[in-house]
Amino acid sequence: MKNLTFIFILLFEVSCGQKINKDLLTGDFESDLRQLLPVGLIELDIMGFQMPDGYNELQEKFKKGIAENQEWYMEYIKTAKSGQGLGYHPNLGLTEEEWEKFSKMTEQMKMVKARTGFIEVLQTDSIIEITGSDDTEGFNGLKINLKTKILSTDYDAWDFTETIQANEYQDKTGMWSGYNWKYQQLDTANLTNLTNFKGKDYDFSIGQLVESKKAIIFFKSREFVDGQQYRMADLLVTYHIPKNKK
Protein backbone atom coordinates (compact mmCIF):
# COMPACT_ATOMS: atom_id res chain seq x y z
CA MET A 1 0.00 0.00 0.00
CA LYS A 2 1.37 3.38 -0.92
CA ASN A 3 2.38 5.83 1.76
CA LEU A 4 0.37 8.99 2.34
CA THR A 5 2.23 12.20 3.15
CA PHE A 6 -0.28 14.86 4.14
CA ILE A 7 1.08 18.40 3.60
CA PHE A 8 -2.07 20.38 4.34
CA ILE A 9 -3.10 20.47 0.67
CA LEU A 10 -6.72 21.40 0.10
CA LEU A 11 -9.31 21.21 -2.64
CA PHE A 12 -12.45 23.30 -2.12
CA GLU A 13 -15.96 22.31 -3.14
CA VAL A 14 -18.77 24.78 -2.61
CA SER A 15 -21.62 23.13 -0.78
CA CYS A 16 -24.40 25.14 -2.43
CA GLY A 17 -25.19 28.12 -4.64
CA GLN A 18 -24.98 28.87 -8.35
CA LYS A 19 -21.51 28.38 -9.82
CA ILE A 20 -19.51 30.35 -12.35
CA ASN A 21 -18.30 28.09 -15.17
CA LYS A 22 -16.63 30.62 -17.46
CA ASP A 23 -13.44 32.66 -17.55
CA LEU A 24 -13.71 35.07 -14.65
CA LEU A 25 -10.59 37.24 -14.52
CA THR A 26 -10.84 40.66 -16.13
CA GLY A 27 -7.50 42.10 -15.05
CA ASP A 28 -9.25 44.46 -12.64
CA PHE A 29 -7.71 43.58 -9.26
CA GLU A 30 -10.65 44.50 -7.01
CA SER A 31 -13.31 42.97 -9.24
CA ASP A 32 -11.34 39.75 -9.69
CA LEU A 33 -10.68 39.31 -5.96
CA ARG A 34 -14.33 39.93 -5.03
CA GLN A 35 -15.38 37.24 -7.51
CA LEU A 36 -12.67 34.76 -6.54
CA LEU A 37 -13.44 35.11 -2.82
CA PRO A 38 -17.24 35.42 -2.56
CA VAL A 39 -18.91 36.13 0.77
CA GLY A 40 -20.01 33.15 2.83
CA LEU A 41 -19.11 29.74 4.22
CA ILE A 42 -17.26 27.37 1.86
CA GLU A 43 -16.90 23.63 2.41
CA LEU A 44 -13.42 22.28 1.74
CA ASP A 45 -11.95 18.93 0.73
CA ILE A 46 -8.63 18.72 2.58
CA MET A 47 -6.10 16.87 0.47
CA GLY A 48 -2.72 15.23 0.91
CA PHE A 49 0.02 13.93 -1.36
CA GLN A 50 0.28 10.21 -2.06
CA MET A 51 3.93 9.44 -2.70
CA PRO A 52 5.46 6.40 -4.43
CA ASP A 53 6.57 3.39 -2.41
CA GLY A 54 9.90 3.98 -0.68
CA TYR A 55 9.69 7.78 -0.56
CA ASN A 56 9.50 8.10 3.23
CA GLU A 57 12.51 5.83 3.73
CA LEU A 58 14.66 7.84 1.32
CA GLN A 59 13.46 11.10 2.85
CA GLU A 60 14.56 9.98 6.32
CA LYS A 61 18.01 9.03 5.02
CA PHE A 62 18.27 12.42 3.31
CA LYS A 63 17.32 14.26 6.54
CA LYS A 64 19.90 12.28 8.49
CA GLY A 65 22.61 13.11 5.95
CA ILE A 66 21.84 16.84 6.20
CA ALA A 67 21.73 16.74 10.02
CA GLU A 68 25.18 15.14 10.13
CA ASN A 69 26.69 17.62 7.64
CA GLN A 70 24.96 20.91 8.37
CA GLU A 71 27.82 23.35 7.71
CA TRP A 72 28.76 21.54 4.52
CA TYR A 73 25.12 21.51 3.37
CA MET A 74 24.72 25.27 3.86
CA GLU A 75 27.66 25.84 1.53
CA TYR A 76 26.64 23.13 -0.93
CA ILE A 77 23.16 24.53 -1.62
CA LYS A 78 24.80 27.78 -2.72
CA THR A 79 26.30 25.88 -5.69
CA ALA A 80 22.89 24.92 -7.08
CA LYS A 81 22.10 26.63 -10.38
CA SER A 82 18.83 28.52 -10.74
CA GLY A 83 16.03 26.26 -11.97
CA GLN A 84 18.04 23.09 -11.34
CA GLY A 85 18.12 20.66 -8.45
CA LEU A 86 21.15 19.80 -6.35
CA GLY A 87 23.75 17.51 -7.85
CA TYR A 88 24.62 14.27 -6.08
CA HIS A 89 27.07 14.12 -3.17
CA PRO A 90 27.59 11.25 -0.65
CA ASN A 91 27.04 13.69 2.25
CA LEU A 92 23.36 13.88 1.25
CA GLY A 93 22.92 10.51 2.94
CA LEU A 94 21.92 8.55 -0.17
CA THR A 95 23.69 6.50 -2.81
CA GLU A 96 23.81 8.04 -6.28
CA GLU A 97 21.11 5.63 -7.48
CA GLU A 98 18.91 6.49 -4.47
CA TRP A 99 19.41 10.23 -5.04
CA GLU A 100 18.30 9.96 -8.67
CA LYS A 101 15.23 7.97 -7.64
CA PHE A 102 14.41 10.36 -4.78
CA SER A 103 14.71 13.41 -7.05
CA LYS A 104 12.17 11.98 -9.50
CA MET A 105 9.61 10.90 -6.92
CA THR A 106 7.98 14.32 -6.47
CA GLU A 107 7.00 14.20 -10.15
CA GLN A 108 5.00 11.04 -9.42
CA MET A 109 2.97 12.41 -6.49
CA LYS A 110 -0.83 12.26 -6.55
CA MET A 111 -3.33 14.28 -4.51
CA VAL A 112 -5.88 12.34 -2.47
CA LYS A 113 -8.66 13.50 -0.16
CA ALA A 114 -7.91 13.40 3.56
CA ARG A 115 -10.88 15.10 5.26
CA THR A 116 -13.30 18.03 5.09
CA GLY A 117 -12.95 21.57 6.47
CA PHE A 118 -14.41 25.06 6.04
CA ILE A 119 -13.48 28.70 5.52
CA GLU A 120 -15.62 31.81 5.85
CA VAL A 121 -15.12 34.89 3.67
CA LEU A 122 -16.16 38.42 4.66
CA GLN A 123 -16.05 41.54 2.47
CA THR A 124 -16.20 45.26 3.28
CA ASP A 125 -15.74 48.30 1.04
CA SER A 126 -11.98 47.76 0.98
CA ILE A 127 -11.12 44.49 2.77
CA ILE A 128 -11.56 40.76 2.12
CA GLU A 129 -10.98 38.61 5.21
CA ILE A 130 -10.65 34.82 5.43
CA THR A 131 -11.31 32.77 8.57
CA GLY A 132 -10.48 29.07 8.74
CA SER A 133 -11.88 26.16 10.73
CA ASP A 134 -9.85 23.90 13.03
CA ASP A 135 -8.50 21.99 10.02
CA THR A 136 -7.77 25.13 7.98
CA GLU A 137 -6.46 27.53 10.63
CA GLY A 138 -3.57 28.50 8.36
CA PHE A 139 -6.02 30.85 6.64
CA ASN A 140 -7.01 32.59 9.88
CA GLY A 141 -6.52 36.34 9.84
CA LEU A 142 -5.62 36.67 6.16
CA LYS A 143 -6.81 40.06 4.88
CA ILE A 144 -6.49 41.58 1.41
CA ASN A 145 -6.80 45.35 1.06
CA LEU A 146 -8.49 45.90 -2.30
CA LYS A 147 -7.30 49.52 -2.53
CA THR A 148 -3.63 49.19 -1.56
CA LYS A 149 -3.27 45.52 -2.66
CA ILE A 150 -1.54 44.77 0.66
CA LEU A 151 -2.08 41.29 2.14
CA SER A 152 -1.80 41.14 5.92
CA THR A 153 -1.81 38.53 8.68
CA ASP A 154 -1.90 38.94 12.45
CA TYR A 155 1.90 39.28 12.32
CA ASP A 156 3.03 40.93 9.08
CA ALA A 157 1.94 42.83 5.96
CA TRP A 158 3.04 41.86 2.44
CA ASP A 159 3.15 44.08 -0.62
CA PHE A 160 1.60 42.79 -3.84
CA THR A 161 4.27 41.00 -5.92
CA GLU A 162 3.00 40.17 -9.39
CA THR A 163 0.21 39.14 -11.73
CA ILE A 164 0.50 35.46 -12.73
CA GLN A 165 -0.06 34.41 -16.34
CA ALA A 166 -1.03 30.82 -17.17
CA ASN A 167 2.04 28.85 -18.30
CA GLU A 168 3.24 25.34 -19.09
CA TYR A 169 5.35 25.10 -15.92
CA GLN A 170 2.23 24.86 -13.75
CA ASP A 171 2.11 21.11 -14.32
CA LYS A 172 1.34 20.11 -10.72
CA THR A 173 -1.85 22.19 -10.57
CA GLY A 174 -2.82 22.77 -14.19
CA MET A 175 -2.49 26.13 -15.93
CA TRP A 176 -3.94 29.16 -14.12
CA SER A 177 -3.80 32.94 -14.03
CA GLY A 178 -4.06 35.20 -10.99
CA TYR A 179 -2.22 37.25 -8.39
CA ASN A 180 0.73 36.67 -6.06
CA TRP A 181 2.20 38.08 -2.84
CA LYS A 182 5.59 37.20 -1.32
CA TYR A 183 7.27 38.21 1.93
CA GLN A 184 10.75 37.21 3.06
CA GLN A 185 12.74 38.23 6.09
CA LEU A 186 15.64 35.78 6.29
CA ASP A 187 18.86 36.25 8.25
CA THR A 188 21.46 34.63 5.99
CA ALA A 189 24.34 37.04 6.57
CA ASN A 190 25.43 35.30 9.80
CA LEU A 191 24.30 31.81 8.80
CA THR A 192 26.91 29.13 9.48
CA ASN A 193 24.67 26.10 10.08
CA LEU A 194 20.99 25.23 10.38
CA THR A 195 20.91 25.70 14.17
CA ASN A 196 21.21 29.49 14.02
CA PHE A 197 18.89 30.03 11.05
CA LYS A 198 15.99 32.42 11.64
CA GLY A 199 13.52 34.25 9.46
CA LYS A 200 10.14 34.31 7.73
CA ASP A 201 9.11 33.12 4.28
CA TYR A 202 5.52 33.62 3.06
CA ASP A 203 3.90 33.07 -0.34
CA PHE A 204 0.22 33.53 -1.27
CA SER A 205 -1.37 33.17 -4.72
CA ILE A 206 -4.97 33.20 -5.91
CA GLY A 207 -6.41 32.82 -9.41
CA GLN A 208 -8.51 30.75 -11.79
CA LEU A 209 -7.64 27.47 -13.48
CA VAL A 210 -7.80 27.53 -17.28
CA GLU A 211 -9.35 24.10 -17.87
CA SER A 212 -11.81 23.59 -14.99
CA LYS A 213 -12.60 27.31 -14.40
CA LYS A 214 -12.25 26.67 -10.66
CA ALA A 215 -10.51 29.11 -8.35
CA ILE A 216 -7.11 28.14 -6.94
CA ILE A 217 -5.33 29.36 -3.81
CA PHE A 218 -1.80 28.53 -2.67
CA PHE A 219 -0.54 29.66 0.73
CA LYS A 220 2.88 28.87 2.20
CA SER A 221 4.03 30.12 5.57
CA ARG A 222 7.39 29.37 7.24
CA GLU A 223 8.83 30.92 10.40
CA PHE A 224 12.13 29.83 11.96
CA VAL A 225 13.97 30.60 15.21
CA ASP A 226 17.37 29.01 15.94
CA GLY A 227 16.85 26.52 13.16
CA GLN A 228 13.48 25.37 14.52
CA GLN A 229 10.33 25.80 12.45
CA TYR A 230 7.64 26.98 14.83
CA ARG A 231 4.86 28.22 12.55
CA MET A 232 3.98 26.55 9.25
CA ALA A 233 1.15 26.28 6.77
CA ASP A 234 1.00 24.70 3.31
CA LEU A 235 -2.38 25.10 1.66
CA LEU A 236 -3.24 24.39 -1.98
CA VAL A 237 -6.88 25.00 -2.71
CA THR A 238 -9.29 24.81 -5.65
CA TYR A 239 -13.04 25.37 -5.63
CA HIS A 240 -16.03 25.98 -7.86
CA ILE A 241 -16.68 29.73 -7.77
CA PRO A 242 -20.21 30.62 -6.62
CA LYS A 243 -21.81 33.88 -7.63
CA ASN A 244 -21.20 36.55 -5.02
CA LYS A 245 -24.10 37.28 -2.70
CA LYS A 246 -25.75 40.65 -3.26
Q: State mean pLDDT over 68-80.
A: 85
Asked, for residue 81, whether it belongs to a domain, the answer is no
Q: Judge whether 36 lies within some domain.
A: yes
Examine residue 95 and state whether it is found in any structural domain, yes or no: no
Quick check: is 101 in a domain?
no
Count: domains in the chain: 1
Q: What is the pLDDT of residues 86-133, one digit of tens each?
A: 889 999 999 999 999 998 887 777 767 778 778 899 999 999 999 988
Q: Kindly state whether residue 65 falls inside one of the protein's structural domains.
A: no
Segments forming the whole domain that contains residue 173: 4-51+109-242
Distance, in Å, from the CA atom of 240 to the CA atom of 146, rounded to the nearest integer, reads 22
| 160 in Cβ contact with 151 (< 8 Å) | yes
pLDDT tens readout for residues 137-163? 888 889 999 999 999 988 789 999 999
Is position 46 within any domain? yes
Query: For residue 10, what pLDDT is reported?
Result: 35
Please, which pLDDT band fits residue 9 given cuts at 50, 70 and 90? very low
What is the rounded distance in angstroms from the CA atom of residue 87 to the CA atom of residue 76?
Answer: 9
Is the confidence at residue 32, as pLDDT, over 90?
yes
In a domain? residue 62: no
pLDDT digits (tens, 9 = 90+) for 181-218: 998 887 655 555 556 667 888 899 999 999 989 888 88
- pTM here is 0.73
Please state, in angstroms and rounded to a whole number, the distance separating the CA atoms of residues 243 and 37: 10
